[in-house]
Each structure stands twice: as C-alpha cells, then as structure tokens.
A and B are shown apart, each in its own frame.
Chain A
Amino acid sequence: AQSVAQPEDQVNVAEGNPLTVKCTYSVSGNPYLFWYVQYPNRGLQFLLKYITGDNLVKGSYGFEAEFNKSQTSFHLKKPSALVSDSALYFCAVRDNNAGNMLTFGGGTRLMVKP
C-alpha cells in the first residue's frame, strides 16, 4: 500500500522569506512523487514531479522539491515567497510497481503575508 502525509494543515510565511511545505511518503517499491497547487474554486495544477535522477527537482513558479530517500520525504520549497503563492498544496505519490493510481496527501494551506 502507498500513503503520503502532509503534517501541517497550514504554513504561514512572510513575503520574501523562504518557504517549505512538508511531505513524507510510504511505498513498497520506488516512488513517483508529485506536487500540485490549487487556487480557490479551481482544479489542481501540476507543479513538479520526481521520477528518477537528480534529487532536486525544479518546477513551475520558482518552486523546487528535494527527494530524500532515507527520510522518505519530498518537501516543497521556494527561496522567496510571494503573496500570490498563497494557495492549497497537495503532495501525491505513486508506487511505480502498483499501477497508475496516485495517493494524495490531505493538503497544506500556504498563507504568505505581505
């Protein structure tokens, strides 16, 4: 079975400060990992993914995520937060040996204050 946890319901940061949104996962095989962002009353938008290769993945809007196999984590980061980054963020995992189903975390609301 595969699972993913986002331990923080909400993350508050000041504009211009670095941000981190945490994600940990559990799979029996090798993970495919994803981050999505959702703005109010909109569908989820793809930010970035890790399949294989470099542990640091760069994505849209200046976001990046680091795959850490030993800690089974895939934290989302951005060096300098913008007010417009305020949204709901979802981490998702797929076991590459278990079909195409993604398992989503519960979501973390990011609030960036001016």
Chain B
Amino acid sequence: SQTIHQWPATLVQPVGSPLSLECTVEGTSNPNLYWYRQAAGRGLQLLFYSVGIGQISSEVPQNLSASRPQDRQFILSSKKLLLSDSGFYLCAWSDQGASGYTFGSGTRLTVV
C-alpha cells in the first residue's frame, strides 16, 4: 500500500535561518507531488507541485523553493525564513487516476 511521510512534525526556527522540509512517498511510482501551506487553521494555499523529477511549478511568488531530486521525494526549502513563513505545511501526492490526493501529517512551522 502507498504511504506518505512528512517530517518534522513541528519546527521552531529563528528569522533568517534556512529551512528544509522533506516529504517521501512509498508504494507508488511517478506520483504527482504537492506542497500546501495552511494559515490559521483555514484554507489551503498551493505552493508548488511536481509531475516528475526536476519538474517544479510554483503557484505563488514567495520566499520558498521546492525540489524533487528523486521520483518519490519532494523537498521544501528556504534560504532565509521570514516571520510570515510561519504556518502549517502539508505535502500531498496523487496518481494519474481519479483517486484524489493523499496528504501527509503536516509540519507546524513557527518562525520566531
């Protein structure tokens, strides 16, 4: 069966520090991968999505970047965090069919 792993669960980082959040998927190949941010427990903002290795699409201009170095690995990064980067970050994957998305457990990032 397919599983998605996202870590860490919580992170407190100072302003100006770098960020690396990792997401991996098991049990499938060539998944579509997504990074979302959720502020204040409400709506989802799509940050990046990827349909293949090295193929990254950015939905909004921001202080973040994403990379997909392997088929089932998706990394969210920042060189210098801002206070406004605080939020709940969610990774998700989907296949090419009609099964919808499967989400990771999320990372609560607090920038102080």
Contacts and interface: CB of A to CB of B under 8 A. Distances in A.
Contacts, number: 53
B108 A44 contact: no
Contacts of A46: 100-102
B32 A100 contact: yes
Given A41-B88, A43-B105, A96-B98, A101 B49 contact: yes
Interface string B86-112: 001010101110111111111010000
Contacts of A51: 98
A35 to B, nearest CB: 10
Interface residues of B, number: 23
A40 B100 contact: no
Contact of A34 (B44, B100, B105): B100
Contacts of B94: 100, 102
A90 interface: yes
Interface in B32-84: 32, 41-44, 49
Interface of B: 6, 32, 41-44, 49, 88, 90, 92, 94-96, 98-106, 108
Interface of A: 32, 34, 36, 40-46, 49, 51, 88, 90, 92, 94, 96, 100-102, 104, 106-107
10 contacts: A32-B100, A36-B103, A43-B105, A49-B100, A88-B42, A92-B100, A96-B98, A100-B96, A102-B94, A104-B43
